Amino acid sequence: MSARLKPTTSREPRLPPLRVHVSRDPNETLVLFRNITMARKASLAKNALATAAVLFAIYVIFNIFHGPTATSKLGSALPLGTGESYSISLNSMKNLQNSAGNPVRIYLYDLPTRFTYGVIQHHSLARGGKPVDDLTKLNYPGHQHMAEWHLFKDLLRPNSERTGSAVVRVSDPDDAELFYVPFFSSLSLNVNPSRPAAEPGLDPVRPAYNDEETQEALVEWLEAQEYWKRNDGRDHVIIASDPNALYRVIDSVKKSVLLVSDFGRLRRDQGSLVKDVILPYSHRVNIYQGDIGVENRNTLLFFMGARYRKEGGKVRDLLFQILGNEDDVTIKHGVQSRESRRAASHGMHSSKFCLNPAGDTPSACRLFDSIVSLCVPVIISDEIELPFEDVIDYRKIAIFVETTVALKPGFLVSMLRTITTERILEYQKELKEVKHYFDYGSGTVNEIWRQVAQKVPLIKLMINRDKRFVKRNLTEPDCSCLCSNQTGILTSY
């Protein structure tokens, strides 16, 4: 429409010259003058409307590109009516903007102490610690699955201190959209050290602890809660960072949003990217504080960790055999200890590339140690799932090598030696940009909550869907089961 408009000015529009045929009949002359007058008025009105349309278009374009928010830009770009309909459109967009900007309301369950600080106490006693009167004064032990502690402590803080979080804690469960279950499932799995637990009644200072019994007690407690029963736990969030955490009761909680490190120990009907969230391990080496560069990175490829693993981790032993004799490669067996962490920190900080093969499951904490060390990860794990992949392009920070290719003698080292210094610097620059995502003392917790908050629309969809879903007998889970993790329920009629 605007392409047909002629430029307008403040001068009166020029009309064709007036030519009047003077008729001898007075009535005919009067009619002719009336027609001419109406034509002039119509032309003036047409040009006035054209001018108004141009001004209105300029106003709309100005609001699109100079409006305060992206949402208001969208509102201005919508098909516009006149007057009232335009006002309603803008108001609707403002309401949409406000609702989209609100954090998700989450309720933190006040679990019995047995499932939180009680787990810390048992972990301490099993290692020779002394009983304490106030369990909340106990220090949570450092390990690679500390996400459960960081999320719990974050929700205990006042909302005023939780700036930038996608969730806000509410005190009334009736107001909640999500429910967080703060069971320290990974620590519970590892309470007992390698030596067997004390027998009941024989050592009051070091009482026996049974992780399986604790898992079952948690499910029993949850299933008695009104808000769990309301939606069968689907709007609950449960962390199981260690791949073996909650293994005894996973089928009882599989409809919940699970926070996991990978799906290595979960069946297709228990976990999926659709409903669950992938967490990064807590890094165990010191964060590299220097700038990008290769001057002080004289080792080509570094790895330090357990050589012998199960399942997909068996590739490690083969890599040890292939890489063990390379001059500019450091690959050595190491176990979890303070000394090993110091050695790993030094090795990663002084190497260009860090080897990241699969562990017992596809992921391992070494990847996140590499990232915070600005040591370019070389990932050899075909089944790996990675955290925050909607905002991080891992191809920019890591090199992925198919397992069968990586095990060809001479291939891996030859390939890495061809990568230029300029390319390594590009990797390091990207690593520096994203490393805060993997530092639980920086941005990791907020990023996890953002991922969790994104599940709310799906949760609501599945809750409503379940209310009308008819039971089906399936031998294999279909795509809907990846969302709902069930084969259906019986309708009430």
Q: Which pTM value belongs to this model?
A: 0.75
Q: Which domains are present in the chain?
A: 103-192+210-278 (no CATH), 299-438 (3.40.50.2000)
Q: Please give the pLDDT value at position 121.
A: 96
The residue behind tokens 């007057």 is 83
Q: Please give the pLDDT value at position 123.
A: 95
> Among positive and negative, which fits the CA dihedral 146, 152, 157, 163?
positive
Q: Over its length of 493 residues, how does the chain's per-residue pLDDT go in tens digits?
A: 444 444 444 444 444 444 444 444 444 444 444 444 444 444 545 555 555 555 555 444 444 444 433 333 333 333 333 333 333 333 433 333 333 469 999 999 999 999 999 999 999 999 999 999 999 999 999 999 999 999 999 999 999 999 999 999 999 999 999 999 999 999 999 998 754 555 555 555 567 899 999 999 999 999 999 999 999 999 999 999 999 999 999 999 999 999 999 999 999 999 999 999 999 999 989 999 999 999 999 999 999 988 877 766 688 889 999 998 898 999 988 777 788 889 999 999 999 999 999 888 899 999 999 999 999 999 999 999 999 999 999 999 999 999 999 999 999 999 999 999 999 999 999 999 999 999 998 889 999 999 999 999 999 999 998 888 666 666 665 555 555 444 444 333 3
- What gap in Å lies between CA 30 and CA 25, rounded to an integer? 9
Alpha-carbon torsion angle 346, 281, 150, 288, nearest 10:
30
Are the C-beta atoms of 176 and 105 separated by less than 8 Å? Answer: yes
